[in-house]
Structure 1
Amino acid sequence: MTSTSPRKRRLALGAAAVFACSLALPLSATGAAAAEPGLAGSDLFVNPFSTTLEAAQSLSGQARDDAQLLGSIPSAEWFTKGTPAEVEAAARAYVDAAAAAGQMPVLVAYNLPFRDCAQYSAGGALDTAAYTAWIDGLAAGIGDRPATVILEPDGLGIIPWYTTINGDEEWCKPAEADPATAAAARFEQLNHAVDALGALAATSVYLDGTHSGWLGVGDISDRLIKAGVERATGFFLNASNYVETERLIKYGTWISDCINLSVNSWWEPQWCASQYYPANPGDFSTWALTDAAFAQAYADTGVTRDPAAQAHFVLDTSRNGQGPWAGPVAPYPGAPAGADPEVWCNPPDRGLGALPTTETGNPLIDAYLWIKVPGESDGKCFRGTAGPLDPERGMEDPAAGQWFVEQARELIQFAQPPLAPLDCNVSWNAANAGKGSLVKLHIDGAATGPWTLSFVLPTDATVTKATHATVVQDGRKVSVTSSGSKRGNAPDVVLTTKGAADQPWIFWLDGRACTSA
């Protein structure tokens, strides 16, 4: 049994991936390096030139510290536009960097035609041919290196001119799309993407599984099957949303079970129990009723649960530490009765959730990921008013995908589990010296005894000399190790470089990230 939630979640546009440096630091996020291809057990990639660290370059004080803290934690990289050749080049540079670091890159492919039903994150390829060519470019850029692809957030939650498993017409009806072919085209596009990316030697592919406040289990399971989930690694949940992890685990498990039952027996997806029945979606204590319904379905069909063979899933925990926002009790002044308060759009006082990890302790869950880049705006939220201010915040929100200083602070302040600030700081003072630079490094927070400071130079420069330290450089990757046993900030280290030594965007002191002025 299924039901469709009246709550529609729309996804804010992430920035297109731009990665100028083909080398990255050997940074450890969580888990050990993977012994074989696959996301589970992999070490997640931290991009030393991410959009988060890019935002930090124009900030100061607490806002800069916040962006640097968030930028020190693995987040996905969004690929949202470009020609096939452009996305191929961008993906190759990004995956090259992750491969050089021995880490797993997480790429978000977000370029379907009629993306987000032409709303806040409108855009995407013009048609099926353009999209399949773009996907082929993305696949060519990834090649045979390990990679994880989050395939089209909202791609199955919002389908143009779609009739659900229950016979209901979906709300997304763009005038530019052909009502007779738009839904079928969406499944054609996703199936091509699954096959093109899944054919790669070491790429894991996850399709859109929405979240437990949205589609019923049978409805999304049916859509996943039509999109080729049996040939993919599995599905992802909660991208850019706020649903609690405990609910997502139940929901994802039921989807995996529903798919398993439906493809291996006479069972039909529309018969699957869900968060809407027999459970009560508002009372989590009743969700055991749906557990029991699935146990009965397995008994009736004779199918056996097999976590190794079933569809796996990943969860976006980038903003779900405090769960969803309930919204206002009454419409905002100037908004009509019944106006949408847009609870999904830059809600106040939300917090980061679990840190990204591929060690989940659950055989069906390959990772907790930060798919949505925390700190980037969902868009300009008017909540039923004429705008331009967000009436909940009393300010004009940044455009979708732009850095939101106030929200970044809230996510850190209300993080659950709590997130400690970075406890070291690096000052980088460079002066031109002929055809190179003299850089004075001042480090606060180094432990007593020898230390190693690692960073990636933004431009091609060579460190030719260091005082009070030794230097190892590999391309743009540099490691500076102190001499003797004195603390790192007494004396300072002076580097001599050939070529202008622009300041790195992030520093790592003995493996832990540091702020920088």
Structure 2
Amino acid sequence: MHRRPFRSASVAAAVLGVSVAVLTGIEAPASASASAPAPAHPTTADAMRAASSSSLLGAGPYRSPTSEAARNAALLAATDPAGAAAARTIAQYPVATWLGEWTQGTALAKTIDSAVAGAEQTGTTAVFVTYAVPDRDCGGYSAGGFDETTYDAWVDQIVARLDGHRAAVVVEPDSLAMLSNAACSTVLDEQRYRILAREVAAFTAAGIPAYLDAGNSNWVQPAVMAARLERAGVRKARGFFTNVANYYPTSQERAYAQKVSAATGGSHYVIDTSRNGQGWRGTWCNGPGAGLGTTPRVVADGTALDALLWVKTPGASDGTCGGGPRAGTWWSSYAQALVANARLGAPVPDTAPRGAVELVAGTGGGIRLRGWAFDEDDPTQPLAVRVVLDGAPAVTISAGAARPDIDRAHGVGSTHGFEGTLPAAEGAHTVCVTAVGVGVGGDTDLGCRAAHAYRHDPTLALEAATVATAGIAVRGWAFDGDTTATPTTVVVRVDGRDVATATADALRADIGRIWGVGDRHGIALTVPGGAGKHTVCVVARNTGPGRDRAAPCRTVTVPASAPVGHRDAVTSSAARRVSVAGWAFDRDDVSAALRVRVSVGGRVVGTVTANGRRADVDRVHGGGRSHGFSGTVAVASGKRSVCLTAVGVGAGGDRSLGCTTVTVR
């Protein structure tokens, strides 16, 4: 949606533009050379709504030689040549004349008379905007307006001065789109419907086509807006307008307006294209990157669209947002950007859908899809997304899921996401996605991608079971197709007995490349295994649908071996005392805490037990954390050779950990 800040009197009273050729390849329509009398306009609602756009609007909207853009072109000529050039470009095209509290009495009469006279001399139509309804936007940026009595009298003055002349009126931008929000009371709603109904009926009786507010395509739903328009007397008016001071693409606005028109008895409409050349800019206020839109023109294509107008004054700031000056002030740098980004050509190009496929990934029982798509021809309608699997039509899904990020980026509403799972047999597949258009622009190919579908049961492999220092080294990989982002739990069995439970989360970039499931699905651990021949098996625990799955088992023969260990330190810590430290374990039974003999001169002087915590040993060998030893034994003073021996528990015997010469105090 958008809000509009209050416009200054000096800005709003301005009337825009003289007609000459501007940007390369674009020509402004030629002006009539002599004054032409205004034709008799219909003065009943039925006749007004039945008239053609060309009979009401003639050769198009009037261009004023004293427009705000024209005045700024002159003011900036000496100090800002680039700004002056941009202002001159904008001045080539007609912009509506805004009327509000700043135009009363003599000022009101002069403003209207000047535009009407200029229009009659050129065979064009003066377009005005009324913008002074009580509580304008319910106390928001554009707070203000007259009270009801003053407003009615003011409108009567406008009607009286326009009666008998060719003109059109855009009635109170935001006045209906703003209703029923937290700031607008029910009493204010009722007052506004009453005021607007009187206003448009008065304009129609004077032969002036009037257009009521219908917001824009991303503000109020068509059915809701149609109901508001009905209460505001749209059937007593020519119709309604959309997109004033906003940026939504013409095709998008037209699709929205056609729905509103159909719901209000075929009401006609006009669209503000003054700044929509680049589409939605992420904000209504001084949208960055905006460009001038299609030049003003009357449309006679058999639809309810009467004209494309420049209602908002291009180059006038929306307010102090985005580094701009106060609302209504001419902003030279912004005007230059509007001209640089201008798209002044065809008003309603054929627009195909837009979208993207963000994810095509295998999962249990199929392939996951995620993405977004919309068609500017009707952004309120969720698109059909056609999916082809291996060259054959597979399924059509709706792009109607919530995607507020798409609305923020493109201003088309938030219900344009799609996500789902395409059933597919296990194996490699090619998935192609097409967004199906709803307008004349055709469909859009969103591309093809390869993906591997998985079964619901886990997929795994036991690649190796080999002899390790602390038992049997087990290597492989496993993942569950239903939860590929989560590591799978595996159980290792040796000779039919569960000996370890682990998580398959070791780095395996090759598995990620081959299967497309990510790199952290490796199995790498050491399990107990004493001397002898063993059968090693791995079972992956299932998550979701399916069942546990086992990989083919492997056999390994573990030879008998003496303990392994290390003598870390032998020191004399006190008089007639020697302290020893290190680690030791026996592969034949890694759960056992070994005894370590301490000998001096070939005589055993004590033993220590290798049951202390040594996480570092477990990290290296995988035999468990409780294989450290440290202790103190009594040794006679003097220079001594202290030797350590790990006492084995299996057939491999004992293991000398070596000797250290130490001077005992």
Q: Under TM normalisation by the shorter chain, which class is it?
A: 0.5 to 0.7
Say if 2:169 and 2:211, in contact at 8 Å, map to a contact too: yes
Q: Assess, with a 3 A threshold, how the Cα gap between structure 1 residues 26 and 411 changes in structure 2: closer, same or farther.
A: closer
Matched position secondary structure for 1:57: helix
Which residue in 2 is equivalent to 1:200? 206
Pairing 1:104–2:104 present? no
* Partner Cα distance (1:96, 1:372) in 2: 22
Task: Select the residue among 5, 9, 12 that pairs with 1:16.
Answer: 12
Q: 1:85 to 1:20 in 2, by over 3 A?
A: farther
Structure 1: how far apart are the matches of 2:318 and 2:226? Answer: 27
TM-aligned CA distance change 1:31 to 1:239, over 3 Å = farther
Change (3 A) 1:345 1:137: same
Separation (CA, whole Å) in 1 of partners of 2:3 and 2:14: 27
Alpha-carbon separation, structure 2, partners of 1:10 and 1:240: 8
Matched, 1:252 2:257: yes
1:143 Cα deviation (Å)?
A: 2.1
* Distance change (3 Å), C-alpha of 1:417 and 1:86: closer
Shift of 1:122: 2.6
How far apart are the structure 2 equivalents of 1:361 and 1:19?
Answer: 28
Alpha-carbon shift at residue 139 of structure 1 (Å): 1.1
- The runs of at least 4 consecutive aligned structure 1 residues that moved more than 6 Å come to 24-28, 31-36
**1:172 and 2:183 correspond:** yes
Query: How far 1:18 moved relative to its partner?
Result: 5.2
For the Cα contact (< 8 Å) 2:57–2:166, is it kept in 1?
A: no
| Residues in 1 aligned to 2:20 and 2:150: alpha-carbon distance in whole angstroms | 36
Picking from 61, 66, 88, the partner of 1:49 is: 66
Name the count of aligned residue pairs: 317
Aligned residue for 1:115, secondary structure, equals: coil
Alignment of 1:343-358 (within 5 A): 343-358=283-298
Residues 32, 58 of structure 1: CA spacing in aligned structure 2 closer, same or farther, 3 A cutoff?
Answer: closer
Are 2:310 and 1:370 equivalent residues in the alignment?
A: yes
**Is 1:121 matched with 2:142?**
yes
Question: Does residue 99 of structure 2 align to residue 79 of structure 1?
Answer: yes
Describe how 1:288-437 pairs up with structure 2 within 5 A.
310-326=266-282, 343-359=283-299, 361-381=301-321, 390=322, 396-417=323-344
Q: What is residue 233 of structure 2 aligned with on the other side?
A: 228
Question: What is the CA distance between 1:368 and its match in structure 2?
Answer: 0.5
1:62 pairs with 2:79: no
Partner of 1:133: 153
Instruction: Give CA deviations for 1:18-71 in whole Å, capped at 9, x if unaligned.
Output: 5799xx999995499897744455332110011111222221311111101101
C-alpha RMSD of matched pairs (Å): 2.7
Contact 2:16 2:68 in 1 (8 A): no
Displacement after TM superposition at 1:418 (Å): 6.7
Kindly state the Cα deviation for residue 92 of structure 1 after the two structures are TM-superposed: 2.2
Shift of 1:123: 2.3
- Give me the TM-score of the superposition, normalised by structure 2: 0.45
Distance in 2 (alpha carbons) for counterparts of 1:234 and 1:122 = 25
Structure with the greater alpha carbon radius of gyration: 2
Query: Is the 1:242–1:324 Cα contact (8 Å) retained in structure 2?
Result: yes
Larger RCO (CA within 8 A; separation ≥ 6): 1
SS of equivalent residue, structure 2 residue 206:
coil
Aligned counterparts of 1:26 and 1:145: Cα–Cα separation in 2: 25
Secondary structure at the residue paired with 2:335? helix
Q: Does the 8 Å contact 2:15/2:96 carry over to 1?
A: no
SS across alignment from 1:211: coil
Question: Is residue 16–residue 95 contact of structure 2 (8 Å, CA) maintained in 1?
Answer: no
**Structure 1: 5+ residue runs without aligned partners?**
1-6, 163-169, 174-178, 261-309, 327-342, 382-389, 391-395, 420-517
* Structure 1 residues 32 and 222: CA distance shift in structure 2, 3 A: farther
User: Aligned equivalents of 1:353 and 1:361: distance in 2?
Assistant: 19
Q: Which residue does 2:433 correspond to in 1?
A: none
Alpha-carbon contact 2:58-2:124 (below 8 Å) kept? no
How far apart are the structure 1 equivalents of 2:19 and 2:290? 31
Cα pair distance change 1:354/1:8, threshold 3 Å: closer
Q: Provide the secondary structure at the position in 2 that maps to 1:64.
A: helix
Q: What is the alpha-carbon distance in structure 2 between the residues aligned to residue 11 and residue 236 of structure 1?
A: 19
Query: What is the rounded CA distance, in whole Å, between the counterparts of 2:84 and 2:59 in structure 1?
Result: 29
**1:225 maps to amino acid:** E
Question: Is the deviation greater in 354-363 or in 248-257?
Answer: 354-363
Give the secondary structure class of the aligned counterpart of 2:256: helix
SS at match of 1:133: helix
Q: In the aligned structure 1, how far is the partner of 2:277 from the partner of 2:20?
A: 28
Amino acid in structure 2 at the alignment position of 1:103? T
Within 2, Cα distance between the matches of 1:347 and 1:85?
36
